[in-house]
Structure 1
């Protein structure tokens, strides 16, 4: 039987891989009794891990979200993937500094074998010329704007024509959506003083406190955020309108993580770990491949051609994965 410390780490690793585990399954995987599983679960809870118990034939456990971030356990593949993702995100004008600090923290606690692999795999992410003038928006400002959107509270803010000067009167708005397009973050909101929809550059917003009263959300014209934003910037900010194929998907990633690599797509925040991506490409399979690079769960909103392209790519990749080519026999002249 494993020692208690190593057994707790093994238990934590299992809880992180699946949503739900029955007590019997955990006992079998760890080669311990269900009673020992219950004791180890209690120990992990004492260490700050929010583990919920649910009823069933043999009971079960779930690692839940808590009020604080407890220590996480990654296998080798997850650690390498996380480090590479942070290296790429370090060039982002929005989260670059935070990504670099996170990478430094993770690298310090990595085993030497993994640290050597990361040091050999240096990645330099080069931004396209279109996003070279991306605006700098602090994560704190993005979080505050996101909070009032989800809370449906009126947002009052000073709004300037540039990063330093405030050339307009304070605005009173009902915030609707937070999106990113061509390297800039935008707030879509109903302007109470102008009685119309407006689009604001987030880097020019200076929120005022306190926020206003709660409100009932209005319907956005057309009920399509991507089409609304593309219509506002078509011809001036290089929307995706010129691509022959357009599609929309939902990704299980934060908008801040997707935005730097969405090229000329439109990213709409749906929650702390979900976003909607509207993207264009020269072909449906090219569009599906571009979306697949985000390496996360994908929910296709439409159109059907995009769903078909994912199915076509899946068949191609499955065929490629099942094809094993043997090396050709050495040439007779060479083997002499």
Structure 2
């Protein structure tokens, strides 16, 4: 395929408007948005106008029936991922679906089965942290060997989130059909990076908390991971930290350290110190380009369904048995 991938977008909510569309505007050499779909006509029309007058639909089947659409970007509640993915693959479309892969382990297994049933199509999860420049730089720095073996990761993500937050008002993240709540929805980001930097996780435990019931069953937790190589990660993810906010990643290696606060990355090793100021959009553009590239070369992307499940299972497994060490193969 020598032309841009022709993309249909399914779901015109806040994530599509504020995260996906700004990135797509910078990826026109790789991806062309040609149609959008939303069950509410007003939202579909508004998005279509914002995107320059592309076609719009209220029925997913109508969008999928178009033979000129190569792929779809599914930006729906995770509870709807399975149904939309099944329809799109049956219609012969490549899949980019928002994280997390599914609301629970059972539906995740069905998503994996669908990907195996349709190996001719790219099935990718939109895990933007996996493509963010800062984390890619840390990964490359560790791979260079300058800092020696990595042995610890600490990540404090302490946020103040209110029930009227624009990502919460839709309700699905705190509903019974999505039992992992905010810890699953946001937590997969942090687990994805930890796995990329430390390697496969073999044991994990989670101590969840509930401070504000309006945010769901849990609105925070301390997650501890152990890697196959013997490294440890501590991820403190809290959404009701109203008097103190912090977002800080620290990675320790035998002969160096990396720190990142969402703006500035500092790498320290025997060769000296390197500072880098964030110059990307947290990986959204890069993930779209990776999706288009995977379609062109017909090869699975880094963030395929299998990797997304490996991220997700750490949280579903530990949420099912809080404060208990869970082993992962």
Larger Rg: 1
Q: TM-score, normalised by structure 2?
A: 0.25
Higher strand share: 2
Relative contact order (C-alpha < 8 Å, sep 6+): which is higher? 2
TM-score, length of structure 1 as denominator length? 0.24
User: Greater helix share, 1 or 2?
Assistant: 1
